[in-house]
Every structure is written in structure tokens, then in C-alpha cells.
Amino acid sequence: MSSEMDGAQVYLVTGGCGFIGEKITELLSQQDYIKEVRVFDSVARKEVENFATATTHVTVMKGDIRDYNLLLAAMQGVHVVIHTAAIVDYRNTLPFWEMKAVNVGGTENVLRACCALNIPYVVYTSSIAAVGPNILHEPMLRGNEDTKYSGEVELPYGKTKAMAERLVLEANGKKLSNGGKLTTCIIRANTVYGEKAVFLHDLYLSAKAHHGVLNYLEPEHTERNSTYVGNVAWMHVLAARHLQLKPDTLAGQVYYSYDDTPTTKGFLVRYQLLSCTDPSIRLGSRIPYWKMWLLIHLHRIIEVILSPFWKPRPFLNFPLLHTIVTTFSYETDKAFRHFGYKPLYSWQESKVRTARWLEVAVGNLSSQ
């Protein structure tokens, strides 16, 4: 093990061209104990290979996580897998079976390949959506990793993440053919913002279309956590490292991602991010629940009537509306206690970095 720890390690990041995955790849490429970072992604973007440094090579491989043989080939000679590949679909634009095939079936493939190739370490990127809100929309207020919260998850995406989490935890401690054992842990992301966060881009355009006014859906007292993408990625890097150094502590554990982004009101965080980019953005008022309820129903009716001729843009749905208006927050320092995690970027820096990206992204649009 020790020789491998001294700069000869090969990491594989599934979904390493995605929003969180790309940031993980970037940070891994800066670690001197890693010889190569392999990226396995269905949307293979070659520019991710530019993260390579003098000591760390970055290779992007194109492949679908549902294709076991392709995955097996990509995983040859790998020491650690960070599995982020998933379909993140809050708006139900895709059929459930397809999301499940990637999120659950893909996770099954990763674990199976680890056993076949004797790869002992897996860090899985999950989501707070795997926990809830449930179909009764019960809130969770400032819970932590040990908070008992039960009931069926309402959001279809959350259902698939909960199923995948179960597979990852069941695989922990599994015997490998070389006599070793599989060691897994899970990181639950929440509302993640930062460079390339599509929802911020959409939100900005929507605010601009409403004369620079940013309205919101959640009641003022609703609490939800937000974390900067760089800090979520850093937590993965540290967890993967310490899964090897302190397997007895991290094996089979779940960690919520966190940093010093203000947690109380999600709409205020969004407002601060957008107004940092464009000071003309103003905070509007809350859109009442009944109005959204009516709009969703109306949209469904229109969709049914027009479906033979035209497919309208995906609109808000009830599971997503309930996710937005239900308090679901946590407070924890478990990642710090278990593997010394401290945020790499302050709230101030996270805000500025996000605003800088958004300015360019929006600028490119307006110049077109």
C-alpha cells in the first residue's frame, strides 16, 4: 500500500465531465500522490484533460455507465473510484426507468467491476434527495447524518439515489477475490452552486425576463443547505484519501457536504449570487403555493391536449414544488471529525467565483 500512496495512485471519476465531477477531477489532478486521473463519462469533453499537471496525467474516456464491459476496461489498474455519474433530473424530463438504469444500474456496474478487478475503495456521490422530503412532506430541521427520517421519498430522482445508496452501503465490507475487502462511503450533496450550475443561469435569465426581479417559491421560514461546488469536490478528495488511510473510521459512513454558505434561506443565497453578478437584480416576493398548484395543473392539461402536436418545455411538477417548499436542513461537522475536512473556499470567494462565471456565461448569450 505505501508505495501506492507515494504518488503512484490511479483514480477513476465516473461522470468526471459533469458539474461536480469536473471539479473533483480538477482538484484530484493537483494532488501529488496521484499519478493518473481517469474520467469515464458519456459526455466526454477533452478539455478536462487540460487539468493535467507535471505529476498527474488526466485521461478522458467516453462511455456509458450502463455498459459494463466498457466500464471494466476503463477500470483496469485503478486504485480508487469516485462514482459521481448520474442523471440528475428534478423536472422529470426523462422516464423513471431510464434514470433508474443509469443511477441504480450504473452503480451496480461500478461495484461489480470493483469486485472483479479487486479495486478496494469507492466514494459515492449521493444527494440529500435520497433522504427526503417524503410523500407526507415532513420537514427535517437541522438534522445530521444520524437523524432518523423515514417514509418513501417523493422525488423520482431521490428514489433512484436512495436505491443506489443502499447498494453502496451493502457492498461495504464485501470480500474481493484477492482476499481484500471493498470499502465504501457516501457523500450527500445538497443544493450545489458554482461555476457551470445550470439552475443559476436559468434563474438569472428568468429574473431578467421579469424586469430584474427575482421571485421565489419557498416560504420565508424554509431552511435548506447550499454548498459551493469546489467545497463539495474537496470533500470527495479528502474522503477518498482517508478511506485508505483510516478505513475503520470511514467505511460504510455517510457524510453531508457543507461549508460556510449561509443556510437559513435558499432564496437569499440565490439572490446574493445573482446580485453579485448583476447589481440591478432585485429580490421580489413569494409566489403563493396555490398559484403554483394551479399553474402545474393547467400545464398538465395543456400538455395532454397538445401532446400529439407539440411538447411544451418541462415545467415545475408537484414532487419538485414540495421539495422546494419543505424545510430540509442539517448541521454537522462529521466530515471534519472523521477526515479533517474544512472548506477550501470561503462563502465570499465562492460567491465571487460563481459571479465571475455567470457574468461570462450570460455575456456570451447577450453577445450572440
Q: How far apart are CA 59 and CA 66, in angstroms?
A: 20
Residue 307 lies in a domain: no
Residue 203 lies in a domain: no
Residue 108 lies in a domain: yes
- Amino acid letter, residue 124: Y
> What pLDDT is recorded for position 315?
79
What is the number of structural domains in the chain?
Answer: 1
Q: For residue range 123-153, list pLDDT tens digits in order.
A: 999 999 999 999 999 999 999 999 999 999 9
Q: Helix, strand, coil % (nearest 5) of the chain?
A: 45, 20, 35
Residue 234 lies in a domain: yes
Q: How far apart are CA 24 and CA 8, in angstroms?
A: 18
Q: What DSSP string runs through 144-165?
A: -TT----S-B-SHHHHHHHHHH
Q: Name the residue range of residue 50's domain.
A: 2-191+228-259+331-344
Q: Please identify which of the residues 11, 90, 157, 216 carries the catalytic annotation.
A: 157
- What is the average pLDDT score of the chain? 93
pLDDT mean over 245-260: 97
Q: What DSSP string runs through 42-97?
A: SS--GGGGGG--SS-EEEEEE--TT-HHHHHHHTTT-SEEEE------SS--S-HH
Q: For residue range 14-65, list pLDDT tens digits in order.
A: 999 999 999 999 999 999 999 999 999 999 899 999 999 999 999 999 999 9
- 318-325 vs 289-306: helix axis angle to the nearest 10? 160
Q: For residue range 191-208, list pLDDT tens digits in order.
A: 999 999 999 999 999 999
Residues 6 or more apart in contact with residue 325 via CB below 8 angstroms: 217, 218, 219, 222, 289
Residue with cell 495512485: 9
Q: For residue range 298-346, list pLDDT tens digits in order.
A: 998 988 888 788 877 777 899 999 999 999 999 999 999 999 999 999 9
> What pLDDT is recorded for position 311?
76
Does the pLDDT of residue 3 top 60, yes or no? no
The burial of 84, by beta-carbon neighbours within 10 Å (0-12 exposed, 13-18 middle, 19 or more buried), is given as buried
> What pLDDT is recorded for position 325?
92
Residue 304 lies in a domain: no
Helix (H/G/I), strand (E/B), else coil: 169 = helix
Q: How far apart are CA 114 and CA 112, in angstroms?
A: 5
Q: How far apart are CA 159 and CA 103, in angstroms?
A: 10
Does the pLDDT of residue 289 top 90, yes or no? yes
Residue 322 lies in a domain: no
Report the percent of the chain where pLDDT is more than 90: 86
Residue 51 lies in a domain: yes
> What pLDDT is recorded for position 97?
96
> What pLDDT is recorded for position 366?
55
Query: What are residue 255's DSSP bridge partners?
Result: 187
Does the pLDDT of residue 2 top 70, yes or no? no
- Domain containing residue 140: CATH number: 3.40.50.720
Q: For residue range 160-200, list pLDDT tens digits in order.
A: 999 999 999 999 999 998 999 999 999 999 999 999 999 99
Residue 162 lies in a domain: yes
Does the active-site annotation cover 68? Answer: no
